[in-house]
Amino acid sequence: MDRQKEFVLRTIEERDIRFVRLWFTDVLGFLKSVAIAPAELEGAFTEGIGFDGSSIEGFSRVSEADTVAMPDPSTFQILPWVHKDGKPHTARMFCDIAMPDGSPSWSDSRHVLRRQLNKAGDLGFSCYVHPEIEFFLLKNSPDDGSEPIPADKGGYFDQAVHDTAPNFRRHAIEALESMGISVEFSHHETAPGQQEIDLRYADALSMADNVMTFRYVVKEVALLEGVHASFMPKPFSQHAGSAMHTHMSLFEGESNAFFNPDDPMELSDTAKQFIAGILHHANEISAVTNQWVNSYKRLIHGGEAPTAGSWGRANRSALVRVPMYTPNKAGSRRIEVRSPDSACNPYLTFAVLLAAGLRGVEHGYELPAEAEDDVWSLTRAERRAMGYRELPGNLDHALREMEKSELVAEALGEHVFDYFLRNKRAEWEQYRTQVTPYELKTYLSL
């Protein structure tokens, strides 16, 4: 047994941990969990925990249902919730999903991302990610389709006083940092009830684990404070939606591969080719970075979200932004991709963003001209004249782009690629058949 496993077993005994939750993520990005007693953990490290993979979204067919969850001891953390005696008694670990013969499961989201990171490693790169995660705090969570009520009336950077959860962000950050997830800063976003918490950069796989933990912790803290947290991309028609702006950089050893001090923008050729790759393949990867019907209610003109494939320095109307907060600081040169929303599967999202960027690097894509205009204010005709390609405006368009993408099929693997398309086609068809209150209000008198 290696030292990390020994550390986990010793910590569980010393801290009187009574339940160990083994976490993994299905293809759609929902967190799954099985709890085991500490006495079973040593066996789980050796043999894993078997479960019915056919009951998990996108995992396996009934005829191939036997699936094994293998705990990753490097992800061990004690959950911050305390019991009546004032002590925490529950820990968690993420799992890698395997087949009974020990081979990785092609349906495992962690495996999908790890394969892409291995490809980056073969090219000499490691990938670091820093997400800005937005979400809403709500006073209620109605299940009848009616509009929820925001927890406050604050706006951007307001020192908003929450009616029912005045200390929410502080408590959420304390819970995250107690689990080793570093937070850079937090603030109120533009819409009533909307919050943003930014996580400190980490390698892409650790960050995907952190995002899954973040969503769990935020929802738990909200419930403890009598409110509800929602990562729905756009719950309010009249307000901007919730993004997960994703900062990315590639490193070669200790050196930032995106930094070139001799370039006017301090961008290396690698960085420019990486940006070009994301722009070139943006439409193909949209169904993954924005996977829900509701995601495209956020990606609209005037909605503070990108709607065309463009890039720019400090230009928040562009799909890819080059932050310029810290000029001449090599380690900080990075790009920010502004399309993903906070309800995506982070493993698959980071995988396709990395795949698109690396394709640009491998094939030497040329970076188009920088967008110096407010892209949001341009008409479609003006965008076309400037060479900006429109991003998909709905899930159907995004799926049609994804279906013909060799890059996404390769990045996700055949199993995940096929399942994802089938599942999202069903979601789109179900949505298309719904008669909405808007339609009844507008057309019933015809």
Please state the φ and ψ torsions of residue 277, each to the nearest 5 degrees: -65, -45
* Least confident interval from 274-278, 316-320, 380-384: 380-384
Task: Find out whether 207 is annotated in a ligand binding site.
Answer: no
* Pair 171, 227: CB distance under 8 Å: no
Instruction: Out of 79-88, 171-180, 329-338, 350-359, pick the least confident.
Output: 79-88
Give pLDDT tens digits for 389-430. Answer: 899 999 999 999 999 999 999 999 999 999 999 999 999 999
Query: Which pLDDT score, from 0 to 100, does residue 155 have?
Result: 76
Is 334 known to sit in a ligand binding site?
no
- Is 410 labelled as part of a ligand binding site? no
Tokens representing residue 379 in the block: 């008409």
pLDDT of residue 188: 87
pLDDT at 249: 97
Tell me the mean pLDDT in the region 236-256: 96
pLDDT score of 63 = 38
Q: Set out the domains of the chain in order of their start, with CATH numbers.
A: 3-107 (3.10.20.70), 115-442 (3.30.590.10)
The band of 64, judged by pLDDT with boundaries at 50, 70 and 90, is very low
Quick one: pLDDT at residue 59? Answer: 62
pLDDT at residue 201 is higher than 50: yes
User: Rounded to the nearest 10 degrees, what angle do helices 204-224 and 109-122 cross at?
Assistant: 150
Which pLDDT score, from 0 to 100, does residue 373 have?
A: 75
220 is in an annotated binding site: no
pLDDT per residue over 273-316, tens digit each?
A: 999 999 999 999 999 999 999 999 999 876 679 999 999 987 78
pLDDT of residue 65: 62
pLDDT tens, 320-357?
Answer: 999 887 777 888 899 999 999 999 999 999 999 999 99
Annotated ligand binding at 13? The verdict is no
pLDDT for res 315: 78
Model confidence at 53: pLDDT above 90:
no
Section 211-215 average pLDDT = 98
Q: What is the pLDDT of residue 57?
A: 65
- Calculate the average pLDDT of the chain: 91
Q: Establish whether 184 is an annotated binding residue.
A: yes
Is residue 280 annotated as involved in ligand binding? no
Dmax (CA) for the chain in angstroms is 73
**Residue 157: band (very low, low, confident or very high) from pLDDT cuts 50, 70, 90:** low
Report in angstroms the alpha-carbon separations of 190 from 123, 195, 229.
40, 8, 16
Supply the pLDDT for residue 62.
40
298 is in an annotated binding site: yes
**Lowest-confidence pick of 78-92, 394-408, 427-441:** 78-92
pLDDT digits (tens, 9 = 90+) for 96-117: 999 888 899 989 999 999 999 9
Sort residue 299 into left (φ over 0), alpha (ψ -120 to 50) or beta: beta
pLDDT of residue 145: 87
**Full-prediction pTM beyond 0.85?**
yes
- Counting residues of the chain whose pLDDT is more than 70, the rounded percentage is 94
Q: How far is CA 259 from CA 277, 360, 364, 384, in A?
A: 17, 17, 17, 31
Determine the pLDDT at residue 374. 78
